[in-house]
Structure 1
Amino acid sequence: MALTLQCCFCLAICLGLGFWASQVEARTLDEMAMVNKHEQWMVQYGRVYKDVKEKEKRFLVFKNNVERIESFNQAGNKSYKLSINGFADLDNEEFKAVHTGYMMKSTGNKRSSSSNTVFMYHNVTDVPTSLDWRSEGAVTPIKNQGGCGCCWAFSAVAAMEGITKLKTGNLVSLSEQELVDCDINNSGCQGGIMDKAFQFIQQNQGLTTESNYPYEEIDGTCHEEKAAYPAAKITGYEDVPANNEQALLQAVANQPVSVAIEGSGSSFQFYSSGLFTGECSTNLDHAVTVIGYGENNDGTKYWLLKNSWGTGWGENGYMKIQRDVAEKEGLCGLAMKASYPTI
């Protein structure tokens, strides 16, 4: 009897040790798989760290982000997906500090439209049920602001490129760097707003081309000799009535429109595909351009946004975001401060 109890006790210990060993091995295998995934990601995005300590720090951030993304996608309870993109080794605060830029350190918060009481599209009633300005040739390829917080410049330029094409028939890629360097009423890589960019463009008699004044991802000195050759001009700009998605629809039906948005949340950071429904609030910190709208098969309406984070983010650089939500500000605040240039 004693021998039998002893054998059972030894068996239990062996089983316990075996289970513990298998768990350790599983954790080790999982950890190694994550290490390999990080190494592959580094190669894909050309990421090099200054030392082992920095690499370990970035690995832990990467690991947390990947686990969150995979958990979100496995839940399958949202109309959109996330992906491991080029921001995967940044925590959300780091991402927000570098890759947004709407009104960060910009002077003032008050809108100063060149036509405060005018909204030229207020009587527009005949709008198509869906629209994509890309199909009309009014949208340049996706650009990338990189580590410079000048989304405001990319948003303003995209809207200007659109109206220039619609009015002149010519689609010209214009210079964001000219705005970053020369528009002293905004703050370059430290942030800005589109209305002030439109003011600068009007007063400066236009913008030059991207090829003449290429983007450098830094705050630079204004090269007046390059800016002296504008390729497109505007006569002014107008603000879309605030907190009014119907008014925004009337404007977008006629031209691409610059909008401010809260684009710093982790779901926005890793958005990959589908119709984005949040989570987000109305703390405006990013700028994009609305280039169209439509409706999904289930009847959910959406806006089509052009972003400035490269083609590796979202749907090749674009996002579908829910339209006609209950909140008057629009999802993520996109109906709060929309504006567009005029010719």
Structure 2
Amino acid sequence: MENLQYIENFNNAGNKSYKLGLNKFSELTTEEFINSYTGLRIPSLPKSSKVASFSPLNRDDVPASLDWRQKGAVTAMCFKMTELFTGSCWEFSTVATVEGINQIKTGTLTTLSEQQLIDCDTDTGNEGCGGGWMGNGFKYIIGNKGLASEADYPYRGIEGTCSISVTAAAQISGYEDVLANSEEQLLQAVNNQPISVAICVDDEFKRYESGVFSGQCCTELNHWVTLIGYGTSDDDGSKYWLIKNSWGEQWSESANMRLLRDSGAPEGLWYCHESFLSNY
């Protein structure tokens, strides 16, 4: 009832570029939601010594919009099990990024295994269902010489025993940091491939239904998503980032969300990020 009242008051005010709505999180308190559907763990060791070295694009050559779904580099959430347990967002973001670069390099979109990371990535500092760090997920894939397909290592929604006998369906050779808090770097990076982004989510974020989200930034990064494009809203001309989330198609715009871009407001949620891309 409290969530419904908040949503009705917010939408009736009509002064924002986005709408809120009831969803599968509406019966959760803020604490329950954060504990169950976020999972970023900050590592105690340095994340990476490499900063993204992709070939920069001339700003005049950067397209006005980009959607990696239209280019065949993003798997649909309906083909995946929705994130079911605490702290699994890092696996979904890791896998979506590798799926993207693998399709770009090979021309084939292969649905890869989150479950392998949950069961097997135990030596890098990641904690399976207890949360993890994107860079550590990349380290596991590099050291393991690849990641299995979803078909060979299906998602179960619980931690299990690692099966290392499966054949790798995709490999990467490394990963790099994208300069934090630089929208220009994000724009350049996402034109090369989908990238993993850590953001800060709060109670209003969980209620998002549609439109270009412009909520305030909360205090610390706590959730991984995948940046899959950008564009401009037909409704009011707002520029946005397009993200793929791991909360299922019952949340937001079919598991995707638009975040305000180029606002010039450093306090905005869209500035609170740490980003990674993977190298094939």
Match of 1:281 in 2: 218
Aligned amino acid, residue 195 of structure 1: G
Match of 1:98 in 2: 36
Distance 1:223 1:331 in 2: 39
Distance 2:192 2:254 in 1: 24
Aligned amino acid, residue 75 of structure 2: T
Distance 1:312 1:176 in 2: 20
Instruction: Tell me by how many angstroms 1:223 deviates.
Output: 1.4
1:67 aligns with 2:5: yes
Q: 1:137 aligns with which of 72, 79, 83?
A: 72
Q: Which moved more, 1:299-308 or 1:213-222?
A: 213-222
TM-superposition CA deviations, 1:279-314 (whole Å, max 9, x none): 332510000000000012433210000000000001
Match of 2:131 in 1: 191
Instruction: Tell me by how many angstroms 1:148 deviates.
Output: 2.9
1:200 aligns with 2:135: no
Instruction: Tell me by how many angstroms 1:329 deviates.
Output: 7.8
Distance 1:173 1:280 in 2: 32
Instruction: Tell me by how many angstroms 1:321 deviates.
Output: 0.4
Residues 21 and 208 in structure 2, CA contact (< 8 A), matched pair in contact too: yes
Match of 2:275 in 1: 338
Q: TM-score, normalised by structure 2?
A: 0.92
Distance 2:23 2:241 in 1: 22
Describe the SS at the equivalent of 1:163. helix
Identity across matched positions, percent: 49
Match of 1:176 in 2: 114
Match of 2:44 in 1: 108
Residues 214 and 260 in structure 2, CA contact (< 8 A), matched pair in contact too: yes
Describe the SS at the equivalent of 1:121. coil
Residues 159 and 258 in structure 1, CA contact (< 8 A), matched pair in contact too: yes
Match of 1:211 in 2: 151
Q: Within 5 A, what are the aligned runs for 1:1-343? A: 63-103=1-41, 107-108=43-44, 110-113=46-49, 116-122=50-56, 125=59, 126-142=61-77, 143=80, 144-184=82-122, 185=124, 186-226=126-166, 229-263=167-201, 265-297=202-234, 298-328=236-266, 331-334=269-272, 336-343=273-280
TM-superposition CA deviations, 1:43-73 (whole Å, max 9, x none): xxxxxxxxxxxxxxxxxxxx11111112211
Normalized per residue, which structure has more strand?
Answer: 2
Normalized per residue, which structure has more helix?
Answer: 1
The 1:307/1:159 distance shift into structure 2, 3 A limit, reads same
Q: Which moved more, 1:147-156 or 1:127-136?
A: 147-156
Residues 111 and 150 in structure 2, CA contact (< 8 A), matched pair in contact too: yes
Q: What 5-or-longer segments of structure 2 have no aligned partner?
A: none
Describe the SS at the equivalent of 2:274. coil
Instruction: Tell me by how many angstroms 1:109 deviates.
Output: 6.0
Distance 2:105 2:276 in 1: 17
* Segments of 4+ moved more than 3 angstroms: 121-125, 327-330
Residues 142 and 171 in structure 2, CA contact (< 8 A), matched pair in contact too: yes
Distance 1:319 1:145 in 2: 16
Q: What 5-or-longer segments of structure 1 have no aligned partner?
A: 1-62
TM-superposition CA deviations, 1:228-265 (whole Å, max 9, x none): x10001111111112111011001011101000002x1
Residues 261 and 282 in structure 1, CA contact (< 8 A), matched pair in contact too: no
